[in-house]
Amino acid sequence: MRKIKELGEFGLIHHLSSRLKFRASDSILGIGDDCAVYPVKPGMNEVISTDALVENIHFKLSTTTPEALGRKALSVSLSDIAAMGGTPKRILVTLGLPERISVSFLDKLYSGFNEICNQYKVELAGGDTVSSPKCFFINVAVIGEAKRVFTRKGAKPGDLIFVTGTLGDSSLGLKLLDKKKKGGKDNKLLIERHLNPTARVQEAGILARSSINITSMIDISDGLVQDLYHICKASKVGARIFQDKLPHSPEFARTCDKDSIPPLPLLLNGGEDYELLFTLPADGVKNLNRQFLKAKVLVTQVGEITLKPRKVSLAMRDGTTETLSESEGFNHF
């Protein structure tokens, strides 16, 4: 009998989805991107996605609060809508509840949901509640709208690669949580970035409203390199990124220094940044920088798209180049 582990997460999804033959005639995108997409009226598409968080895989009740868990469960789903250039509108929440979960815990979880719903003007419009023998899980399905849709496919050789925000904070925050190093301003900020990530809905809106020719986009949930590989595979191109250009926060740099943690693996493969990773031709860069400067949000060029399919390489500070492995990022199996 074949084991799930042999296929891996993405191999399994491919294996299962390749057996599904029916496609709705109006589908713009089905399985394989951050969201499925279909038109709802001329010039407007709906984008839909779903994400599950499972206790002791995605979170530990000993290291988070119910409010923060509620915020994060929603933020990671909204991030998939942002990754398509969409605006989230409605969510459905399914809870799998073992007996030990209390009503007061769920009240606090829903306070977290409420906060994010108010912040992003998203309606929690339904869901499902079931008992679960041991494992506590939350599933969030989200529906949004997008006039222009940015997919993983479309990056061209010569396009430049950009990311919003900074990389590595979340995975360093997780390391600190695991080591119970919760004291100090820097540690607190990094842990907060892990427990309370920001969905880049505002940034996606800037890109969607602009005339910039975004050729591909994804959100970084499994690490920069793994998610860049997703763009490269879908677009049949390669990529080169530059060690010196990877954006990081001062808190990240100070903590890596202080605790002798090598920063590069976290910048390249640390998951759960929920930043946007996208590509555009060089003639759009001035416009991009102007828009992001105006909105006071960080955007950084980290590399360029190359001809050689499926090869992501890193130009190191010392002038050498190395090919990066796809499999260092997060994979469930």
The per-residue b/e assignment along 152-171, b for 16 or more CB within 10 angstroms, e otherwise, is bbbbbeebbbbbbbbbbbbb
Residue type, 170: S
Total of residues contacting Mg ion (CB under 5 A) = 3
Binding interface with ligand ADP (CB under 6 A)? 13, 16-17, 31-34, 51, 80, 221
Q: What are the distances in angstroms from CA 13 to CA 31, 231, 253, 278?
A: 9, 17, 36, 24
Q: Which is nearer to Mg ion, 58 or 67 (by Cβ)?
A: 58
**Is residue 34 part of the contact set for Mg ion (CB under 5 A)?**
yes
Q: Which of 190, 182, 199 lies closest to 140 in space, CA to CA?
A: 199
Sign, CA dihedral 76-277-239-280, equals positive
CB of 134 to ligand ADP, least distance (A): 21
CB of 158 to Mg ion, least distance (A): 25
Stretch that binds Mg ion, among 117-125, 141-149, 211-219, 295-303 (CB under 5 A): 211-219
The item of Mg ion, ligand ADP, none sharing an interface with residue 295, based on CB under 5 to 8 Å by kind, is none
Residues 307 and 289: their CA atoms lie apart, in Å, by 25
Q: Is 23 exposed, middle or buried (0-12, 13-18, 19+ CB in 10 A)?
A: exposed
CB of 241 to ligand ADP, least distance (A): 20
CB of 287 to ligand ADP, least distance (A): 27
Per DSSP, 284 falls in state: G
**Is residue 159 part of the contact set for Mg ion (CB under 5 A)?**
no
The item of ligand ADP, Mg ion, none sharing an interface with residue 51, based on CB under 5 to 8 Å by kind, is ligand ADP
Residue from 46, 55, 80, 169 touching Mg ion (CB under 5 A): that is 80
The item of Mg ion, ligand ADP, none sharing an interface with residue 202, based on CB under 5 to 8 Å by kind, is none
The item of ligand ADP, Mg ion, none sharing an interface with residue 159, based on CB under 5 to 8 Å by kind, is none
CB 229 within 8 A of CB 269: no
Q: Which is nearer to Mg ion, 169 or 219 (by Cβ)?
A: 219
Q: Is 11 exposed, middle or buried (0-12, 13-18, 19+ CB in 10 A)?
A: middle
Binding site for Mg ion (CB under 5 A): 34, 80, 219
